[in-house]
Amino acid sequence: MEILRVENLTFYYPNAENPAVDGITLSVNSGEFIVVCGESGCGKTTLLKLMKKELSPVGKKSGSIYYNGILQENLDLKTSASEIGYVMQNPDSQTVTDKVWHELAFGLENLGVPSDIIRRKVGDMASYFGIQNWFRKNTSELSGGQKQLLNLASVMVMQPKILILDEPTSRLDPIASSDFTATLQKLNRELGLTIILVEHNLEEVFALADKVLLMDKGKALFFDRPENIADIKTEHPLLLGLPSAVRIYNALDIKDDCPLTVREGKDFLERHFKPKDEILPEYVHSETISVELKNVWFRYEKDLPDILRGTSLKVYSGEFYCILGGNGAGKTTALNVISGLDKAYRGKVLINGRQIKEYKGNSLYRHLLAFLPQDPQTVFIKDSVKGDLTEILEAMEIPKRIREEKISAIAEKTGIVHLLSKHPYDLSGGEQQKCALAKILLSEPKILLLDEPTKGLDACYKQVLKEILSKLKQEGITIITVTHDLEFAAENADRCALFFDGEILSADIPEKFFSENSFYTTHANRMARGLWKYAVTVGQVVMKAKEN
Amino acid sequence: MKNYNPFVLMFYFLAVVIISAFSENPVLQISALLGGILFCAIVTKSSETAGNIGFYVPMFFIIAVTNPLFSHNGATPLFFLNGNPVTLEAFVYGGAIAVMAIGVMLWCKCYSEIMTTDKFLYIFGKTVPKLSLVLSMALKFIPMYKQQTRRVSRAQKAMGLYSSKSVTDKIRSHARVFMAMVSWSLENSIETSSSMKARGYGLKGRTNFALFKFGADDLILLAVIVILLGVTVFGIITGETRFYYYPRISTLKFSAAYIAFGFFSLLPFIIEAKEAIKWRYYVSKI
């Protein structure tokens, strides 16, 4: 049964020349799982907001939206609030109250449901989502994953018929994000809930979807079953976001069914190719050491357990070094210690051969070391990107006449020329990341520390970031990255290391590192490891297949 | 005790504190102090006990001694200090003030342990619903704001911006972070308000949900409180408990109010002790 119909929907923001949503027509049946994807700024969020009456943006709208056959404009307010659920991106800002139980009850309170019934419904929902153990906690004490689960539960408690989610997992780590996706799948399977999900990371959700909507510049490029995606044979940057199996299939041009999951991809490769032994490439690195940790111990407070327990690492000059590891393992702490934000209570931290405490005042952060935190928003202070860039040059005491020159050079390099006059908070996640990178690069660092640089970025921005970072590497900058993104590490790193139990365990080139791990490895390697052991990226698998 | 309905608890706390603060009767005050000590001993952690004794005992003597040094009323001079009489009545009155003050302080301490913010908000919410939502939102916002401030100032520090130890740099850095936090807060509140709208905030007939119920236990406790309080207040109104220190200390007459208030101020201790014994008994049976 059709639950939602969008007919020829076009939408212009005030004073905008181009439509944000351009003539979209689609129909969603009850119980379907729809995945929406597309580049940042392609109009996904606008389309989703238009579907939810309360959140419709201001602007010029034509076309119509029907919910259960009723035109949206005629929809009863109570029905609209309870039957169309909407979950947003940021886990923090969409939480309203201070207590978990109050958050769950909030929607029902608004609908005017009596207390006894609220009590029952909240209890029902909390048990279903496994919230009972933190039911009486403060919302501020929850982890990101728990917060987002709470946001989902507090929408679900109103018993919606459609659930719309706008990049709900983009701020979560991979484990929390796959838990969240599993919950969505459960809701869809067990309750027959209709789900419309916007997602960047398609690796997992792609195979779950009944239909995929691919958007580009406000238009629907593709709206069909996921296995038919191979029919669009364009060189679109969007295709970089597809699951590894689909990308390998697309690049190979073999007549067969399109594989969607790792299992199907593995079958597909093994059907068409033969295994071959390989020699591991030799790793050549510079002999100078940029950053060295020698038996470093750290804890946040005297009574708390140690986070770093005798961590040692060596990063050579000009190297791209990736630290991988589970959540809360202390990877970020290790980075904080290298950046001088946290001080180790035992052990040595050497930057360019000198102990970190010998760098007095700001000397560590001038022409030497720069740190990009996980949330790029925290880097901005001024009300325009240009203001922020100028500020750091002022602090570096660069004469006025050279400033303009420096700013345009860095803007050129990071591709932010068109963003200079904007307010940093008006930018998308990817744009913020680029501008933040530009700001910290102005201090002309030799060592760059990045904390989760790909979090929340779509495939196109990841590509852009990759290009910027490889430019920096060519200039001889040492890059140390903490990341959860195995694909990103495999494609970019010179060496990868696993952080576990307060220590850095093994540092090796990605080919060796990933091929020796059985779980902690890329999707491409999981598919191809039976054939070509050392193929860890999609590109390498495709290359091997073509040689074969 | 903490599992009773917040309204009952609030009523009880107010009654104890008002009676012990405004009646000048030593028996009532001493029983309030004793009840307070016993209640505190149960409510606070045992590791804090030494610290509490170290604070309240000297406090008691300081308050007790201050009165006779400054007040020279009373008919029975004990000795003269700088030509001023130090009287027995002033000494005793000082002691009585100290008993009252420490008693009230201890009850307030128990209050803050038992009446957590959610209980307070519940009482508030029943009377002024809008305000309670605002308070709840504020309580959610404050820790988030603090955390973000910390993140921003660390990010700024790692860029080497105004991070030197000089006072001007420190002030400038705080001011900059504050300005950024203002825009962050605005941005954040826009999203919060969409999330509220999406969940139907603003529809007519909003209800108020709370975890607290008013059960049979609460009714029994309330009945006991009302009866004991009634007897006590009756004694106070009829003047049976009237007591004065100046010019001469008056004598005490027997009143049923003393027994009633004695039980009244020991109520939390009795309840807790009963539960503890029951618990022991059950554990021993397991």
Domain residue ranges of chain B, discontinuous segments joined by +:
6-121+213-285
| Nearest residue in B to A121, CA atom | B209
Q: What percent of chain A has pLDDT over 70?
A: 99
The pLDDT mean for chain B works out to 88
Give the Cα separation of A24 and A18 in Å (integer).
14
Strand B84-87 to B77-81 pairing: antiparallel
Residue numbers of B between 249 and 278 with CB closer than 8 Å to A? none
**Closest Cβ–Cβ partner in A94, A97, A158 for B191:** A94
Q: How confident is the model at residue A195 (pLDDT cuts 50, 70, 90)?
A: very high
Give A236-287 pLDDT, tens digit per residue. 777 788 899 999 988 888 888 889 999 999 999 999 998 888 788 888 888 8
H-run or E-run covering A211: strand A211-216
| Angstroms from B114 CA to nearest CA on chain A | 16
Are the Cβ atoms of A138 and B197 closer than 8 angstroms?
no
In this complex, do A112 and B203 lie within 8 Å of one another by their Cβ atoms? yes
Smallest Cα distance from A441 to chain B, Å: 10
**Chain A residue with the nearest C-alpha to that of B189:** A93
pLDDT digits (tens, 9 = 90+) for B51-107: 889 999 999 999 998 888 888 888 888 888 888 888 888 889 999 999 999 999 999
SS3 B29: helix
Rounded to an integer, the average pLDDT of A166-193 is 90
φ and ψ of A343, to 5 deg = -105, 130
Give the β-pairing of B77-81 and A346-351: unpaired
Handedness of CA A177, A182, A187, A192 (dihedral sign): positive
Residues of A with Cβ-Cβ distance to B203 under 8 angstroms: 77-78, 81, 110-112
CB contact under 8 A, B162 and A395: yes
Mean pLDDT of A380-389: 91
Classify residue A538 by burial, with Cβ atoms within 10 Å: 0-12, 13-18, 19+: buried
| Beta carbons of A52 and B118 less than 8 Å apart | no
Residue A75, pLDDT > 90, answer yes
Residue A73 has pLDDT above 70, yes or no: yes
Reported pTM: 0.85
In chain B, residues 17-76 whose CB comes closer than 8 Å to chain A: none
CA distance B181 to chain A (A): 8
Q: Which domains does chain A have, with CATH numbers?
A: 2-242 (3.40.50.300), 317-343+357-547 (3.40.50.300)
The whole-number average pLDDT for the span A491-516 is 91
% of chain A with per-residue pLDDT over 90: 60
Check CB contact under 8 Å for A154 and B199. yes
Residue of B nearest to A158 (CA): B199
Confidence of residue B246 (pLDDT cuts 50, 70, 90): confident
Mean pLDDT of A510-537: 90
In chain A, the residue whose alpha carbon lies closest to the alpha carbon of B195 is A94
CA A143 to chain centre: 17
- On the question of pLDDT at A361 being above 80, the answer is no
For residue B163, the model assigns a pLDDT of: 65
Nearest CA in chain A to B209: A115
Residues B122-172: pLDDT tens digits?
A: 888 777 878 888 888 998 999 999 999 999 989 988 888 766 677 887 888
Q: What is the mean pLDDT of residues A153-180?
A: 91
- Identify the closest residue of chain B to A135 by CA–CA distance: B211
Q: Which of chain A's residues have a Cβ under 8 Å away from the Cβ of B202?
A: 110
CB–CB contact B151 A375 (8 Å): yes
Q: How many CB pairs under 8 A join A and B?
A: 167
Question: Quick one: chain A helix, strand, coil %, rounded to 5?
Answer: 40, 20, 35
> A233 falls in which pLDDT band (50, 70, 90)?
low
Chain B positions touching A158 (Cβ under 8 A) are 199-200
Using CB atoms and an 8 Å cut-off, which of residues 161-220 of chain B contact chain A? 161-164, 176-177, 179-180, 183-184, 187-189, 191-192, 194-211
Q: Do B203 and A110 touch (CB under 8 A)?
A: yes
CB contact under 8 A, B207 and A119: no
Q: Radius of gyration (Cα) for chain A, nearest Å?
A: 25
The nearest alpha carbon in chain B to A443 belongs to B159
Nearest to A78 among B156, B203, B211 (CB): B203
Instruction: Provide the pairing of β-strand A447-451 with A478-482.
Output: parallel
ipTM of the complex: 0.87
Q: Please report, for residues A149, A165, A226, A405, B191, the alpha-carbon distance to residue A168 in angstroms, rounded to integers and kept in the order given.
A: 10, 6, 21, 40, 14
User: A103: distance to nearest CA of chain B, Å?
Assistant: 10
Q: Packing angle between helix A429-441 and helix A385-395, nearest 10 degrees?
A: 20
Is B184 in Cβ contact with A96 (below 8 Å)?
Answer: no
B200 interaction partners in chain A (CB closer than 8 Å): 54, 77-78, 81-82, 107, 110-111, 158
Residue located via tokens 């570096």: A396
Query: B154 and A377 in contact by Cβ < 8 A?
Result: no
- Contact: B208, A425; criterion CB under 8 Å: no
What share of chain B has pLDDT > 90, as a percent? 45
Q: Check whether the bond before A281 is cis (ω within 30° of 0).
A: no
- Mean pLDDT (chain A) is 90
Rounded CA-CA distance A418/A421 in Å is 8
Indicate whether A292 pLDDT > 90: yes
Torsion from C-alpha of A125, A127, A132, A134, nearest 10 degrees: -50
Of A106, A138, A140, the CB nearest to B199: A106
B contact test, residue of A45, A102, A332, A336 with most B CBs within 10 A: A102
Check whether B279 has a pLDDT greater than 90.
no
Q: What contacts A471, CB < 8 A, 6 or more positions away?
A: A413
> Do residues A494 and A319 touch, judged by C-beta distance below 8 A?
yes
Q: Which residue has the higher pLDDT, A73 or A518?
A: A73
Q: Is there a contact between B200 and A111 if contact means CB atoms under 8 Å apart?
A: yes
Contacts of B148 in chain A (CB under 8 A): 378
Confidence of residue A426 (pLDDT cuts 50, 70, 90): confident
pLDDT recorded at residue A285 = 87
Q: Which of residues 106-165 of B touch A (CB under 8 A)?
A: 117-118, 133, 136-137, 139-140, 143-144, 147-148, 151-152, 154-164
**pLDDT at site A458:** 84
Integer CA distances (angstroms), B206 to A298, B200, B209, in order: 50, 10, 10
Q: Cβ-count burial of A487 within 10 angstroms (0-12 exposed, 13-18 middle, 19+ buried)?
A: buried
* Edge-to-edge order in the sheet of strand A289-298: A308-316, A289-298, A346-351, A354-355
Report the pLDDT value the prediction gives residue A234, as an integer from 0 to 100.
66
Confidence check: pLDDT of B229 > 90: yes
The tokens describing A371, both together, are 């740190």
Closest residue in B to A154 (Cα) is B199
Minimal C-alpha gap between A348 and chain B (Å): 19
Interface test with B, best of A82, A109, A113 (most B CBs within 10 A): A109
| Number of neighbours of residue A485 by Cβ within 10 angstroms | 21
